[in-house]
Amino acid sequence: MRTKITVVGAGNVGATTAQRLAERDYADVVVVDIVEGLPQGKVLDINQSGPVVGYEPNLIGSNGYEESAGSEIVVITSGFPRQPGMSRDDLLAKNKEIVGNVSKEVAERSPDAIVIVVTNPLDAMCHVAYDELGFPRQRVIGMAGVLDSARFRTFLAWELGVSGRDVTGFVLGGHGDSMVPVVSYSNVAGVPVDQLISDERLQEIVQRTRDGGAEVVKLLQKGSAFYAPSAAVVEMIDSIVLDQKRVLPCAALCEGEYGFDGLFVGVPVRLGAQGIEEIVEIDLSETERQALSDSAGTVRELVQALATL
């Protein structure tokens, strides 16, 4: 029995996520978007790649949620991109409405689903989805840490001239300027990176990681990243569908962990068939713990702003 996965939003992140899932060949995929013809056209294109790439085409595009019923996993990528002159509160209000409406549809049609939120501002949108869904915290997860960690690992690998697969490193906290690349737990094949790279250079890499999304946006001039974000989403889905129990940095609702209560924060979690099976608490240096607390404070400000909209 193949897993049923719905991707809401047929933009670049959503469509590329659907493509990567198709190539995994372990799931039937439904792509939902309000733009007439967009999900149908992209899904038709992906399906026609099947005989060449070597997977069975099992994707459906829809402008409604009927076909999504009974999904085991739902990925929410739909949202409004920030436009010139748009304030943070404007963006919050617009995407609060979008993610809220999507979450209502998901709760009605796929009440047992694990939901992965991708829409920005990520941490705040996790709260919107969680409140509307009414699901246990184990089944509402935000994708950000895997992406930010992939950027961090890439920059470390380039600096040292090694394979990124041999670099261990993760990023905690909110998905924004205050994110916390955890240097003390970063290593290359077990060798701590702070033994291989000077402190000054490490701080430059940490800052480039924080600016990772903005760097892509600046280069593209129009649009934002989607290859790496979709890869990050699918790494999370792999761990859930295949019950791999990977320890990955994800936005999770903390209830006392790391000293946070009732707040979605990027922390290491064990992901398995039931969703978040454990929030893994690691020992952080005093500086890192303070940085994580500051980052969580930024998230809390966004959540408080949501309440006024």
- Top CATH class of 3-142 equals alpha beta
**β-strand 180-181 against 171-172: which pairing, if any?**
antiparallel
Per-residue confidence (pLDDT) for residue 7, from 0 to 100: 98
Residue linked to tokens 């304030």: 87
State the CB neighbour count (10 A cutoff) for residue 112.
Answer: 9
pLDDT digit string, tens, across residues 198-210: 999 999 999 999 9
Tokens of 41: 């056209």
Cα–Cα distance measured from residue 284 to residue 79, given in angstroms and rounded to the nearest whole number: 34
Total count of residues recorded for the chain: 309
State the CB neighbour count (10 A cutoff) for residue 262.
Answer: 12
Cα–Cα distance measured from residue 184 to residue 182, given in angstroms and rounded to the nearest whole number: 6
Residue type, 9: G
Tokens of 165: 């697969």
% of residues, the chain, pLDDT over 70: 97
Cα–Cα distance measured from residue 39 to residue 291, given in angstroms and rounded to the nearest whole number: 41
What are the start and end residues of each CATH 3.90.110.10 domain in the chain?
145-307
Tokens of 153: 């690992």
Assessment of whether the complete model's pTM goes beyond 0.85: yes
What are the start and end residues of each CATH 3.40.50.720 domain in the chain?
3-142
Average pLDDT along the chain? 95
Average pLDDT estimate for 243-262:
97
Cα–Cα distance measured from residue 7 to residue 12, given in angstroms and rounded to the nearest whole number: 12
**DSSP for 75-139, written as a single string:** EE---PPP-TT--HHHHHHHHHHHHHHHHHHHHHH-TT-EEEE-PSSHHHHHHHHHHHH---GGG
Active site amino acids: 175
Per-residue confidence (pLDDT) for residue 91, from 0 to 100: 81
Instruction: Give the Cα-Cα-Cα angle 307, 82, 269 (nearest 5 degrees).
Output: 65
Residue type, 276: I
**β-strand 246-255 against 180-181: which pairing, if any?**
unpaired
Average pLDDT estimate for 5-18:
98
pLDDT digit string, tens, across residues 74-117: 999 999 876 666 666 678 999 999 999 999 999 999 999 999 99
Residue linked to tokens 């889905």: 237
Q: Which residues contact 60 (CB under 8 A, 6 or more apart)?
A: 28, 29, 30, 31, 43, 67
Tokens of 12: 């670049």
**β-strand 275-279 against 261-272: which pairing, if any?**
antiparallel
Q: Which CATH architecture has domain 145-307?
A: Alpha-Beta Complex (3.90)
pLDDT digit string, tens, across residues 190-245: 999 999 999 999 999 999 999 999 999 899 988 899 999 999 999 999 999 999 99
Closest CA to 241 of 14, 17, 19, 25: 25
Which carries the bigger pLDDT value, residue 224 or residue 254?
Answer: 254
Per-residue confidence (pLDDT) for residue 80, from 0 to 100: 85
Phi and psi dihedrals of 76, rounded to 5?
-100, 105
Cα–Cα distance measured from residue 32 to residue 45, given in angstroms and rounded to the nearest whole number: 15
